[in-house]
Amino acid sequence: MKSHRTRTHIPPSTEGQPSLDELLGGGLPQGNIVLVSGTVGSGKTIFGLQYLVEGAKEKENGLYISFNNTKKDLHKIAGEFGWDIKALQNRGQLRIRHISIAKESSVEVRKEIFQLLKQYRPQRIVLDSLTMYFLMLELVEQMETLMGYNLDGLSAHVNKQLLLRLAITELYEQIKLSGATALILTERVEECARTRMDTIAEFHSDGLIILAPKKTQKEFIKTIQILEMKYTRHNQNTHALKMTGGGIQIGDKI
């Protein structure tokens, strides 16, 4: 049986080109947690905002949890594309929460995220970014309170990396329980080996979308590729990612 779909409504740049939903085989399978991995400037934040703005048009409430950009930053970015996210917030269709990992402990951050999921009950979620969340968990001074454990009282054989894995697993489980279709943004460093975070996150994710720059004979362009996606037959070709006055569009196959 075909799963219900959450449509991104990201259009093609020209007639005859596929939309993102067509590349996805009809849209994101409802309830999927999708990792959106990209280098700096690849369009991850814009991609996430557009996903929530389009969801609001479908009367699907969205939640944007940001460790990177403040509310003011996100309003500026949205304004560049004509998205009135303040109006969406006033109508209760969008909630933005900026969390400073420098001011809040890992326990407080986790508790707040889980409370937001339960109280707001969004249909769409964007977490920006998993890289910053993982960085918070790796801070040495946070390790004793991570997951509510005291490392001094545990066996010497307890691996701190296991606790990090458990924390990431817990985050994904809570998002799954919410029933929302989520985009988890993460930083990708060019020409570098995959990190522990990449391994853990990709293992738990239902899909992986890569945003990356590519050099052509004339210029550098942004690209998008759906590398993995459970519960759908998707197109794995790399396409150009066009930035227009109205947001992201899908361009030619590269």
Q: pLDDT confidence of 36, banded at 50, 70, 90?
A: very high
pLDDT-derived band of residue 101, with 50, 70 and 90 as boundaries? confident
Q: What is the pLDDT of residue 175?
A: 97
Question: For the domain that residue 79 is a member of, what is the CATH number?
Answer: 3.40.50.300
**Alpha helix (H) ranges present in the chain?**
20-23, 44-57, 71-79, 85-90, 106-120, 130-138, 160-178, 196-204
Enclosing domain of residue 135: 30-214
Instruction: Confirm whether 247 is domain-assigned.
Output: no
Q: Which residue has the higher pLDDT, 156 or 17?
A: 17
Rounded Cα distance between 174 and 178, Å, is 6
- d(CA 39, CA 28) in angstroms, rounded, equals 22
154 assigned to some structural domain: yes
Q: What does the pLDDT read at residue 85?
A: 98
The reply to whether 98 falls in a domain is yes
* The predicted structure's pLDDT at residue 178: 97
The model's pTM: 0.90
The mean pLDDT of the chain is 89
Domain presence at residue 63: yes
**Residue 137 domain-assigned (yes or no):** yes
- Range 89-117 average pLDDT: 90
Q: Is residue 14 part of a domain?
A: no
Measure the CA dihedral 105/110/113/116, to 10°: -100
Locus of tokens 């996805």: 24
What integer is the mean pLDDT of 30-40?
96
* pLDDT, greater one: 191 or 92: 92
Calpha distance 249→129 (Å, rounded): 22
Q: What pLDDT is attached to residue 196?
A: 66
Q: Is 70:97 a contact under the CB 8 Å cutoff?
A: no
Within a domain: 80: yes
Q: Is residue 2 part of a domain?
A: no
Domain count along the chain: 1
pLDDT at 197 over 90: no
The pLDDT of residue 141 is above 50: no
164 confidence band (pLDDT: 50, 70, 90): confident
